[in-house]
Amino acid sequence: QDPSLPEPITIKLDEVGDHIKLRKGDDGEKGTRVRVLGRVHRERKQKELLFITLRDGYGYMQIVVGGQLAKTYDAITLTRETSMEIIGEICEVPAGARAPLNRELRADYFHIPAHWKAAGGDDAITNRVSADNQSHAHLLDLRHLTLRGETSSSVLLVRDAVEYAFLTAYRELKIRKVSPPALVQTQVEGGATLFKLDYYGQEAYLTQSSQLYLETCLPFMGNVFCIEKSFRAEKSLTRRHLSEFTHVEAELDFITFDDLLSHIEHLICRVLEILFADPVTAAHIKTLNPELTMPSRPFLRMRYSDAIDWLVKNDIPNEEGEPHKFGDDIAEAAERRMTDIINKPIFITHFPREIKAFYMQVDKDDTRVTESVDCLMPGVGEIVGGSMRLDDYDALMAAFKREGLDPEAYSWYVDQRKYGSSPHGGYGLGLERLLAWICKQHTVRDCCLYPRYMGRCKP
């Protein structure tokens, strides 16, 4: 290091502000001397100069290494992903050139401790994660490395912002956060997808949904939400099913079904507004999904029976290849074609009792159906499932009987109907599915850190 130079300030690569002055041109005022730390994202040699794009998780910075520094052994043998400390003057990029934040760091010093050096040769990261001749599964084995890529990391940066946006939106609505247990002894969404485990000699499960626990919070916390993991032993490989997913769930007290629909619509739009209001997040979204705009409100509302008619009219068959009829589940493929054709958010409401969960309130005007809703998004399909809840003790007991569930295991849930029942409802939103829509990702697997699905439990 040259001790005659000014003491550097240490900054993250996205840092801007009046304390960082850029040198403009070659004979202008000096730029601030800064110290940065990060990994080599890319590097290229151009004549006597070494250009490095440094990455630190906050941003990218162009580094220019020239003169004697560029001729050092470490500069000549520099490999991608090597960690470095670099000090230099921060300058405007020359006219016509482009770099992140229109600036570059002209290095006067760099340091690479021996163990910070990344492997080179056959073991170089570019050889290990190159998509050529590599299966998707192999790339997922290497997700701890592929996550360093621009698209993967962008999605996860948006994910961080989305989680904060939910916290903000819920806080604005005075909905309180709770944290229900993941180890449970009740099923919520059917026995077929339960992960069972031995719990000190008793049978227990990984939770499929925190809904039933959220319902127990209404009498003492008012409206509540949680952002927790839910687990489903999904025995099929699709682009929107995970075995472990992040579930944004809320439960609202003393509401009507209409209130529930308006709330879900508000929440989705408010989260988007918060994301767009943050320039960094908005820039990530713009790169990933340039077409994303704020959906117009109110969302299209379509009763299940009308959705069935729509599918018949549009020649979209059910899973058996036959025209849809009342009582059919709207399977993933049909749902996706529907959302792609309509191409805007849709609320499908009033699903038949037989194809929905035991806890759903029956519609008073048509007892074949429930006060239920799925929210579908273009390109993804269902991202939210919600309903009003059966609030009458006898009706709930009848539902347990119909579904063959032992009310004894649900005694704590049943107590809610004994001690101050209320008209209430709620929903669950799959965070990875919301992200797949926002970031235009083909599969939810790319919207979480380390996806879990049938056959994969690593890294």
Cβ partners under 8 Å of residue 358, min gap 6: 390, 399, 400, 402, 403, 405
Residue 36 contacts residue 54 (beta carbons within 8 Å)? yes
Distances (CA, A) of 172 to 46, 211, 423: 53, 21, 23
Q: Which residues sit at the interface with ligand 4AD, rule CB under 6 A?
A: 188-189, 209, 211, 232, 234, 241-242, 245, 247, 249, 382-386, 426-430, 432-433, 444
Cα separation, 266 vs 358, in Å, equals 27
Cα separation, 329 vs 352, in Å, equals 9
Token pair 């309903």 is found at 387
Give the residue with the Cβ less far from ligand 4AD, 69 or 268: 268
**H/E/C letters for each residue in the chain?**
CCCCCCCCEECCCCCCCCCCCCECCCCCCCCCEEEEEEEEEEEEEECCEEEEEEECCCCEEEEEECHHHHHCHHHHCCCCCCEEEEEEEEEECCCCCCCHHHEEEEEEEEECCHHHCCCCHHHCHHHHHCCCCCCHHHHHHCHHHHCCCHHHHHHHHHHHHHHHHHHHHHHHCCCEECCCCCEECCCCCCHHHCEEEEECCEEEEECCCCHHHHHHHHHHHCCEEEEEEEECCCCCCCCCCCCEEEEEEEEEECCCHHHHHHHHHHHHHHHHHHHHHCHHHHHHHHHHCCCCCCCCCCCEEEEHHHHHHHHHHCCCECCCCCECCCCCCCCHHHHHHHHHHHCCCEEEECCEHHHCCCCECECCCCCCEECEEEEEECCCEEEEEEEEECCCHHHHHHHHHHHCCCHHHHHHHHHHHHCCCCCEEEEEEEHHHHHHHHCCCCCHHHHCCCCCECCECCC
Task: State the sign of the Cα–Cα–Cα–Cα dihedral 184, 185, 190, 191.
Answer: positive
